[in-house]
């Protein structure tokens, strides 16, 4: 535990964005459009290495296999997106990183942070890393802050948990952070309670809390899902901005490919507790090699005027994680599924440079002109992509 507080944050980034102006959230957006292209590039240094992570929860009906062997590496300053539906194990795997899973969870595999094995650490060591080196932002800002403590207290608490400094100094640091995340009149707002903030503002507070100790890794678990669409973009920009201010890497967990698009250097797609496709975000978006990814892409509404831009949803629901199908867990919903898919579960295999996919038929996707077109309203008239007129209920 260090004695000195991390007071040397770059005070340059927040200029212009806060202070003087009559700050509405919308006004601020105009000033700081911060995109991934502006962000500092990733370094080679490996911060976090997850290898073959599995998590199971025993229940009365059998073990729920929430995560079934996930591996990835997070480099310094990198943004890694993890995408998947609810129940795909993306949140559970991030909670495992934080050591926040319930005691009943059975975890195996390894998670190393700068070479230290997180899973074999004593609880006190794990706690010393939490919030100090690895911080987390949760999905629902409305319930993630304690309603009975002032925002300033809750922020200062994060400093005091790791640094031996006077309370005043911790509060000063809290104010600085509120400034940085763009909360106007920070010194006044320190004394306010969470219910006096809007959802977007509360999420900014959560971001401030995450970066207050200059962490190396920020885990953002669906940070914008609970927010209004207009606020989402601002929060994401702010996240990128503060990441550079503290030189952190971000693990961005979301079910929304749209969030990943402008945010992540690399993307990992999860389905039924496994990673089914990994690669540079561009690869994932333009050359998906796993039908599930393609299906997700087809589910994004597009504003750019293609005449045939209809939604192409994936039918069905994810499998039970207690009774998984024998083969590829996506096969019951997959338009490309053949007998082999129901027999054996494919492993991740290289499909291009820095691009892996777990599919028996990734070559079929490579050949297709529009991979999303496999997901058709009417399976009879599957590819090639054509303008359909029948209604969506046709499924």
Partner 1 sequence: MLVFIARRLFVSLWVFLAATAVMFVLAANANDPLEEARQLPDNERDAAMATITERMNLDKPVLIRYLLWLTSAITGDLGVNRQGQDVNTMLGTAFPATIQLLTAATILAIVFGISIGVISALRQYSGLDQTVTFIAFVCFSLPLFWVGTLLKQYGAIEINNWLADPTLSAMVIAILSIVVGLSCSALLITDRRTRWTTFAVTTVVMAILLTVLSATGWFAEPGLGIFVIALTSIAGAVAFTTLVSGLEWKSPPMRAALSAAAIGIVCAVVLAPLLDDPNIATLLVLTLITVAVCAGLGWFFGGELYRRQAIPAAVFTGLFTAGVIFTDRVMQSFADYSAHSRIRGRPISTIGPSTPNFEGTFWEHTLDSAGHLLLPTLALVLVSLAGYTRYTRASMLEVMNQDYVRTARAKGLTERAVITRHALRNGMIPITTLTAYDIGTLIGGAVVTERVFGWKAMGVLLFDGIEQGDPMPIMAFFLVAGGAIVIFNMIADIAYAFLDPRIRLS
Partner 2 sequence: MMRKNKAQPAGTTQTPGTAADAAQGMDVVARTQFQLVVRRFFRHKGALVGMVLFGLILGLASTSIGWGPIPGWWDKNPVSTGAVVEGGRPTLGLWPSFLGGGGLSWGEHPFGQDDIGRDYFAVVMRGTQVSLTVAFLVGIVATVIGTVIGAVAGYFRGWTEAVLMRLTDVMITIPVLVFAAVVAAMAGRKGIVFLGIMLGLVTWTQTARLVRGEVLSLREKEFVEAARSVGTSAKRIIFRHLLPNVVGIIIVSVTLAIAAAVLLESALSFLGLGVQPPDTSLGRLITDYQTAMMTRAWLFYWPGVFIIGIALSVNFIGDGLRDAFDPRQNRVRD
Indicate which single residue of 86, 307, 389, 391 sits in contact with partner 2 (rule: CB under 8 A).
86
The DSSP code for 385 is: P
Around Cβ 310, how many Cβ atoms within 10 Å? 17
CB under 5 to 8 A by kind: which of partner 1, partner 2, none does 312 bind? Answer: none
Six-digit token string for 157: 């608490």
Region near partner 2 per CB under 8 A, out of 42-50, 320-328, 352-360, 366-374: 320-328
Tokens 């209920």 correspond to 393
Indicate which single residue of 22, 102, 123, 147 sits in contact with partner 2 (rule: CB under 8 A).
102
Cα(377)–Cα(395) distance, integer angstroms: 6
The smaller minimum CB distance to partner 2, of residues 17 and 93, is found at 93
Query: Residue 112 forms beta bridges with which residues?
Result: 49, 117
Q: What backbone phi and psi angles, to 5 degrees, belong to 6?
A: -80, 80
**3-state secondary structure at position 277:** strand
Q: Are 284 and 267 in contact (CB under 8 A)?
A: yes
Q: What backbone phi and psi angles, to 5 degrees, belong to 342?
A: -80, -15
Site for partner 2 in 150-169 (CB under 8 A): none
| One character per residue 30-69, x = contact with partner 2 (rule: CB under 8 A) | ---------------------------x-xxx--x-x---
CB of 228 to partner 1, least distance (A): 19
Tokens 């809007």 correspond to 198
The smaller minimum CB distance to partner 1, of residues 48 and 358, is found at 48
Q: Does 195 bind partner 2 (CB under 8 A)?
A: no
Q: Which residues bind partner 1 (CB under 8 A)?
A: 98, 100, 127-132, 135-136, 138, 140, 143-150, 157-158, 161-162, 164-167, 193, 195-196, 206, 209
CB of 87 to partner 1, least distance (A): 18
CB under 5 to 8 A by kind: which of partner 1, partner 2, none does 61 bind? Answer: partner 2
Cα(268)–Cα(283) distance, integer angstroms: 11
The answer to whether the Cα torsion of 321, 325, 329, 332 is positive or negative is negative
Region near partner 2 per CB under 8 A, out of 35-43, 87-95, 229-237, 259-267: 87-95
Give buried/exposed letters for 208-223 (b at 16+ CB in 10 A, else e).
bbbbbbbbbbbbbbbb
List residues near partner 2 by CB under 8 A. 57, 59-61, 64, 66, 86-87, 91-92, 101-104, 139, 315-322, 332-333, 395
């Amino acid at each position: 535990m260090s004695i000195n507080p991390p007071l040397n944050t770059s005070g340059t980034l927040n200029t212009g964005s806060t202070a003087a102006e009559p700050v509405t959230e919308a006004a601020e957006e105009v000033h700081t459009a911060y995109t991934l292209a502006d962000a500092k590039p990733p370094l080679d240094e490996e911060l976090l290495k997850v290898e073959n992570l599995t998590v199971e929860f025993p229940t009365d009906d059998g073990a729920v296999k929430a995560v079934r062997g996930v591996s990835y590496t997070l480099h310094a300053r990198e943004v890694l997106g993890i995408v998947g539906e609810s129940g795909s194990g993306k949140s559970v795997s991030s909670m495992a990183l934080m050591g926040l899973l319930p005691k009943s969870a059975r975890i195996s595999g390894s998670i190393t942070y700068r070479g230290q094995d997180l899973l074999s650490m004593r609880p006190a060591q794990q706690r010393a890393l939490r919030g100090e080196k690895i911080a987390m932002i949760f999905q629902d800002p409305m319930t993630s802050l304690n309603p009975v403590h002032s925002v300033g207290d809750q922020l200062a608490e994060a400093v005091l948990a790791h640094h031996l400094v006077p309370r005043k100094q911790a509060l000063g640091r809290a104010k600085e952070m509120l400034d940085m995340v763009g909360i106007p009149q920070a010194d006044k707002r320190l004394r306010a309670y969470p219910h006096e903030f809007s959802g977007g503002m509360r999420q900014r507070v959560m971001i401030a809390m995450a970066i207050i100790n200059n962490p190396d890794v920020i885990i953002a678990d669906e940070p914008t899902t609970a927010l209004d669409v207009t606020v989402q973009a601002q929060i994401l920009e702010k996240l990128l901005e503060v990441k550079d201010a503290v030189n952190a890497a971000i693990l961005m967990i979301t079910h929304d490919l749209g969030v990943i698009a402008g945010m992540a250097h690399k993307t990992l797609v999860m389905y039924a507790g496994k990673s089914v496709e990994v690669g540079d975000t561009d690869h994932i978006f333009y050359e998906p090699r796993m039908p599930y990814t393609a299906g997700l892409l087809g589910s994004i509404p597009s504003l750019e005027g293609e005449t045939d831009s209809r939604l192409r949803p994936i039918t069905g629901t994810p499998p039970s994680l207690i009774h998984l199908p024998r083969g590829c867990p996506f096969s019951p919903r997959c338009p490309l599924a053949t007998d082999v898919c129901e027999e054996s579960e494919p492993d991740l295999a290289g499909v291009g440079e820095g691009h892996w996919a777990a599919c028996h038929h990734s070559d079929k996707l490579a050949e297709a002109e529009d991979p999303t077109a496999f997901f058709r309203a009417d399976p009879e008239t599957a590819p090639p992509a054509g303008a359909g007129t029948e209604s969506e209920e046709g499924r």
